[in-house]
């Protein structure tokens, strides 16, 4: 039998590369402890000198093989009872593992350590009086209420990564043993944070604490059982979608986030996902060249939301994404977000030109009317592309208006509003177009997919039309990437309405913007108010 040795090679792109397979006997335990089950991979940049690559490869291989041997020797099983000596020996092994792990790999920078330590002290002080940082008063700790003690234990359990450590040791604690261990290790957890902060600040003096821990002694064991959540990161997203039933656009936008996060950590149980893992993933996103705003407002925000849902399900004690964000300067604007007069003329004139008969009837109608409706209402383009025949009404005072309602599709905030139509739209024949249209959606056929995977929902028909309109705008020559091809109409409308002297409360009401002032609740404009104000809105000029 030939044994395949792990060797250092050059990958196709020139990088230094190696693989180390995980033996089948320890794959399950290895995955619980380190997040990977099939193999570990070593990769370093091509420009790294050969002698340095060999040194780092040797260190990496030794670490992986040590993990494997430790798991082989551990014979994973439950521990029924720990003596005091065994308990403190286990705490000692955790202390050395935790400080070495974070020190060598710089998983927690000084800022993160300070945040964890401050959070710990806040939890400790939240009910009982303050306890000193490095000299926990055990008698006072015993006087904590059960609820307070549980909060402190939950914080330590999450931030100490004790579940990852126990999995790497092949240990599962039975009954009250884990609670007792967490209570006993509180001072050691605080001391570990202290020494890591000291090292992060450049002080690498010897740690005298390790000398106080006893040598390991055999444990009393019982048959193995499962103590983790049994829920992966992808499973958490799936559960959140099932319960919350978010908008299709949200599912489609967030699906890639959780596919990436779950793959990055290779299906790790969510209980074993730590603050350090969240920071590591965030740094990887930055390294891939994504923008600061995109990472903060989509990637980290979606992860924070789903993990908060998991926390509310009592699966984890703390949200590892809470407060996590990418630092970055404010985005610099290099042009106004509204269309220029030239761009307005280009798009509105283009909408009046004949469209090929090969284009569907309703899409032709969208190219004709949606730009004008957006220009004169300030509505979102998706709110216009989902309009139906029954959403157009004539007021008793004679003017026409539209209802923008969730019944037709999607409205941000989930509330409907009424918006008057400018006289220029009526003169162009928009009402005649509506009258001649068949009942239902004006700009799409309204068909839906017969079978829908809740995690891969098809885009609604009005969204497809909206996206085609965006592409149409670019084809007309409005190609400046600094503005949105559809959303710029909202900025254009609000600017022109302001220049016409229309009050902000009326502009906001038409666009569906909320006003945070309490007094605004009593100043909501009527539909007649908006119709009167729109008389002052100047017509768009076309050639």
Mean pLDDT of residues grouped by 10 in the chain (543 residues)? 63 86 76 74 88 81 74 54 78 86 61 82 66 40 69 84 76 74 89 86 80 64 47 89 87 91 78 82 82 89 93 87 80 81 94 90 95 94 94 95 88 82 95 94 77 74 91 94 91 94 92 62 81 94 75
Residue 519 counted as domain residue: yes
Q: Please tell me whether residues 207 and 134 are part of one structural domain.
A: yes
> What pLDDT sits at residue 428?
95
Residue 336 counted as domain residue: no
> What pLDDT sits at residue 447?
65
Q: Please tell me whether residues 411 and 489 are part of one structural domain.
A: yes
Q: Please tell me whether residues 99 and 9 are part of one structural domain.
A: no
Q: Please tell me whether residues 93 and 199 are part of one structural domain.
A: yes
pTM > 0.85 = no
Q: Please tell me whether residues 448 and 508 are part of one structural domain.
A: yes
Residue 327 counted as domain residue: no
Which positions ≥6 away from 519 have C-beta within 8 Å? Answer: none
Considering only CA atoms, which of 204, 193, 202, 190 is closest in space to residue 114? 193
CB 286 within 8 A of CB 326: yes
Q: Please tell me whether residues 433 and 379 are part of one structural domain.
A: yes
Residue 542 counted as domain residue: no
- The range of the structural domain enclosing residue 99 comes to 77-225
Q: Is 95 exposed, middle or buried (0-12, 13-18, 19+ CB in 10 A)?
A: buried
Residue 365 counted as domain residue: yes
267 phi/psi in degrees, rounded to 5: 70, 25
Considering only CA atoms, which of 489, 494, 490 is closest in space to residue 505? 494
Q: Please tell me whether residues 187 and 275 are part of one structural domain.
A: no
């Amino acid at each position: 039998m030939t044994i395949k040795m792990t060797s250092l090679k050059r990958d196709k792109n020139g990088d230094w590369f190696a693989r180390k397979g995980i033996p089948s006997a320890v794959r399950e335990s290895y995955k619980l402890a380190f997040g990977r089950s099939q193999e570990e991979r070593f990769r370093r940049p091509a420009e790294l000198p050969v002698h340095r690559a060999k040194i780092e490869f040797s260190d990496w291989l030794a670490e992986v093989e040590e993990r494997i041997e430790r798991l082989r020797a551990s014979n994973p099983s439950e521990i029924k009872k720990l003596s005091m000596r065994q308990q403190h020996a286990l705490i000692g092994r955790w202390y050395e593992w935790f400080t070495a792990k974070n020190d060598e790999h710089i998983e927690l920078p000084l800022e993160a350590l300070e945040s964890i330590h401050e959070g710990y002290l806040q939890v400790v002080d939240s009910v009982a009086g303050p306890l000193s940082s490095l000299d926990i008063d055990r008698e006072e700790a015993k006087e904590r209420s059960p609820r307070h003690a549980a909060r402190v234990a939950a914080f330590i359990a999450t931030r100490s990564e004790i579940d990852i450590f126990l999995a790497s040791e092949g240990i599962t604690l039975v009954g009250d043993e884990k609670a007792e261990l967490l209570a006993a290790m509180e001072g050691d957890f605080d001391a570990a944070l202290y020494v890591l902060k000291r090292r992060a600040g450049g002080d690498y003096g010897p740690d005298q604490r390790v000398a106080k821990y006893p040598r390991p002694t055999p444990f009393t064991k019982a048959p193995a059982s499962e103590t983790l959540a049994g829920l992966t990161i992808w499973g958490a997203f799936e559960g959140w979608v099932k319960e919350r039933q978010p908008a299709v656009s949200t599912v489609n936008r967030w699906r890639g986030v959780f596919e990436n996060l779950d793959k990055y950590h290779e299906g790790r149980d969510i209980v074993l996902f730590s603050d350090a893992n969240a920071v590591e993933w965030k740094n990887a996103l930055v390294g891939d060249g994504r923008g600061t705003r995109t990472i903060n407002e989509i990637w980290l925000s979606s992860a924070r939301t789903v993990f908060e849902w998991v926390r509310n399900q009592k699966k984890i004690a703390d949200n590892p994404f809470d407060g996590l964000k990418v630092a970055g300067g404010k985005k610099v604007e290099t042009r106004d977000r509204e269309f220029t007069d030239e761009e307005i003329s280009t798009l509105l004139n283009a909408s009046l030109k004949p469209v090929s008969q090969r284009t569907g009837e309703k899409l032709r109608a969208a190219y004709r009317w949606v730009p004008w409706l957006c220009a004169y209402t300030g509505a979102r383009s998706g709110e216009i592309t989902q309009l139906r025949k029954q959403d157009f009404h004539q007021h008793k005072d004679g003017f026409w208006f539209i209802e923008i309602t969730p019944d037709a599709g999607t409205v941000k905030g989930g509330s409907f509003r009424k918006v008057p139509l400018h006289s220029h739209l009526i003169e162009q024949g928009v009402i005649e177009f509506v009258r001649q249209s068949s009942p239902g959606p004006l700009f799409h056929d309204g068909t839906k997919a017969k079978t829908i995977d809740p995690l891969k929902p098809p885009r609604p028909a009005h969204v497809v039309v909206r996206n085609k309109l965006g592409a149409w705008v670019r084809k007309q020559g409005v190609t400046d990437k600094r503005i949105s091809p559809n959303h710029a109409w909202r900025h254009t409308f609000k600017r022109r309405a302001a220049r016409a002297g229309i009050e902000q409360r009326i502009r906001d009401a038409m666009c569906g913007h909320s006003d945070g002032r309490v007094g605004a609740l009593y100043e909501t404009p009527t539909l007649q108010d908006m119709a009167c104000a729109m008389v002052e809105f100047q017509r768009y000029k076309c050639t």
